[in-house]
A = this chain, B = another copy of it.
């Protein structure tokens, strides 16, 4: 390989015949005579000088990195968030470090404490499960953290949340308007933040419309994944015959679509299906999937901006932002092809 020699300020200074501090000044846009600036720039270019990130961090305390922690890089809703956040963060001059934590609270606590190691200026996280310990760790962090998702009311941390309850309300309203009455829920684990929120929203909406609230219409997948969704839907179909199914996220809903197709049930004629998150997967499904847009892209965008603001103004008041849901109607509930 055509080795680029390792270079530093000192070498550049020597080559240009000036002092180290002058090189630093020129390269960081400080005031300098034209002659000096030219010499420095030439020497730097010739040596292929690039500043050493850690050394700079040490001196300035800034890393120009932001960490995004997600439970599962394979979940399309996180993919959507990553895509959005990458853009925002890059525009503000930060690099994005993506960390896949799994759903385990312990590894998330690790992540939060390791933030104090100083390899990021801030943390963006969307925890699936929130424990007291995690909240404690987040509160005592020296570096800013913005949570994408719901937090207990008394926690003084910036956060951007969805409104699952209203979102499910939209789905139920839409289904009821089409004459559906036996509306089932294929949920993810209820000990997770989205899982519990969606169950509560479902129950509230069902009651509001005076629909049957049989426990046979509620099943819980072991995870928010396609595979778990297939199993849960199979169990559901074995114990009830719903005329509509709401999946707690798009993957579960797509799984329901596939399981219904395998069972010979026609969608939407016999059973309508609604997903949540309105990810790419909803559009790609066949039939395309009506889905509750919980604003994941907007949430990610708002959270990233919030974090960047807080890094710049650590003492700004705590913000809590709620992104309102919307319904994207597609074929799986009789919408346009």
Binding site for B on A (CB under 8 A): 1-4, 6, 48, 50-55, 57-58, 63, 65, 73-74, 79-80, 82-83, 86, 95-100, 113-114, 116-119, 136, 139-142, 156-157, 226, 254, 257-258, 261-262, 280-281, 283-288, 337
B98 touches A50 (CB 8 A): no
Given the complex of chains A and B, what is the CA–CA distance between A331 and B80 in angstroms? 28
A74-B79, A95-B119 as given contacts; A284 in contact with B283, CB under 8 Å: no
User: Are A280 and B226 in contact (CB-based, < 8 A)?
Assistant: yes
| Residues of chain B within 8 A of A114, CB atoms compared | 50
Q: Smallest Cβ distance from A262 to chain B, in angstroms?
A: 7
Q: Within 8 Å CB of A52, what residues of B?
A: 58, 117-118
Partner of A100, one of B83, B156, B284, B287: B83
Question: For the complex, would chain A's binding face be called helix, strand, loop or mixed by DSSP majority?
Answer: mixed
A-B contact pairs, 11 of them (CB 8 A): A2-B140, A4-B116, A50-B117, A53-B119, A54-B118, A73-B82, A86-B100, A95-B99, A254-B284, A261-B286, A281-B284
Q: A141 to B6, alpha carbons, bound, how many Å?
A: 10
Residues in B whose Cβ lies below 8 Å from that of A226: 280, 283-284
How far apart are A100's CB and chain B's nearest CB, in angstroms?
5
B3 touches A140 (CB 8 A): yes
User: Are B283 and A286 interface neighbours, CB within 8 A?
Assistant: no
Q: Complex Cα distance A116/B49, Å?
A: 9
CA gap between A335 and B48 in the complex, in Å: 56
The answer to whether B54 touches A119 (Cβ under 8 A) is: yes
Measured CA separation A3–B284 after assembly (Å): 47
Residues of B within 8 A of A1 (CB): 139-141, 156-157
Q: Nearest B residue to A64 by beta-carbon distance?
A: B119
Closest 5 CB pairs of A and B: A286-B286, A54-B57, A98-B98, A54-B54, A2-B140
For the complex, give the distance between the alpha carbons of A288 and B285 in Å.
10
B-chain residues with CB within 8 Å of residue A283 when the two chains form the complex: 226
Q: Taking the nearest CB of chain B, how far is it from the CB of A33, in angstroms?
A: 28
Chain B residues lying within 8 Å of A261, measured Cβ to Cβ, are 286
Q: How far is the CA of A1 from the CA of B318 in the complex (A)?
A: 11
Q: A326–B18 Cα gap in the complex (Å)?
A: 61
Q: Is the CB of A257 within 8 A of B286?
A: yes
Known: A54-B119, A95-B99, A286-B287; 9 extra A-B contacts, CB below 8 A, are: A1-B157, A2-B136, A4-B141, A50-B117, A51-B117, A52-B118, A96-B97, A262-B337, A286-B286
